[in-house]
Amino acid sequence: MNILACLTPKSDVDYVTDEATLFKVLQTMEHRNFSAIPIIDKKGRYIGTITSGDILGCIKENFNLSVKDSAKFPVRNVRRTRDYKAIGVHAGFEEILDKAVNQNFVPVVDDEEIFVGILTRKEIMKWMHEEYTREHPEGGK
């Protein structure tokens, strides 16, 4: 599978840095209606993914956390329960599908772990449909 055929490049992906505040993450996720968002460090390396569940857990653990406090609370201090596993740019089809089954998106990194973009389930499915249609022009009949 050519990952570049499905890749949403970093320039078109909403992400946060590990220095962003919890408030910034909440704003970004609310504005875009996301349930998860990638986290990268200042060198551009993929760190992990923060989910709405992680944020709710953080608020629960810090019962007195106010919106004002969240503007001072770095996202790197939020305990993440399940990071989305990244794949390399040369990953095979099976590895991509394995990740996509359990993740809303699949982060993609280069050989130096630099975040280059994501593969969404929708784009993977569109690519699979195009490949199937190309291989079975009669619709598989």
Summarize pLDDT for 114-139 with one digit per residue, the tens.
999 999 999 988 888 888 888 888 76
Q: Does residue 140 form part of some domain?
A: no
**Residue 110: left if φ>0, alpha if ψ -120 to 50, beta else—which one?**
beta
Q: What is the pLDDT of residue 1?
A: 64
- Host domain of residue 41: 3-135
Q: Does residue 66 form part of some domain?
A: yes
Q: Does residue 141 form part of some domain?
A: no
Integer Cα distance of 58 and 62 in angstroms? 6
Q: What percent of the chain has pLDDT over 90?
A: 55
Q: Does residue 82 form part of some domain?
A: yes
CATH number at residue 25: 3.10.580.10
How many structural domains is the chain composed of? 1
- More confident site: 32 or 70: 32
What tokens appear for 14 in the block? 């909403």
| Residue in the block written with tokens 């993440």 | 80
Q: If you average pLDDT over every residue of the chain, what do you get?
A: 89
- More confident site: 9 or 69: 9
Q: What is the pLDDT of residue 61?
A: 81
For 13, list phi and psi in degrees, rounded to 5: -110, 135
Question: What's the start-to-end Cα distance of the chain, in Å?
Answer: 24
Integer Cα distance of 46 and 94 in angstroms? 21
Q: Does residue 97 form part of some domain?
A: yes
Tell me how far CA of residue 28 lies from CA of 24, 55, 78, 110, in angstroms. 6, 13, 16, 25
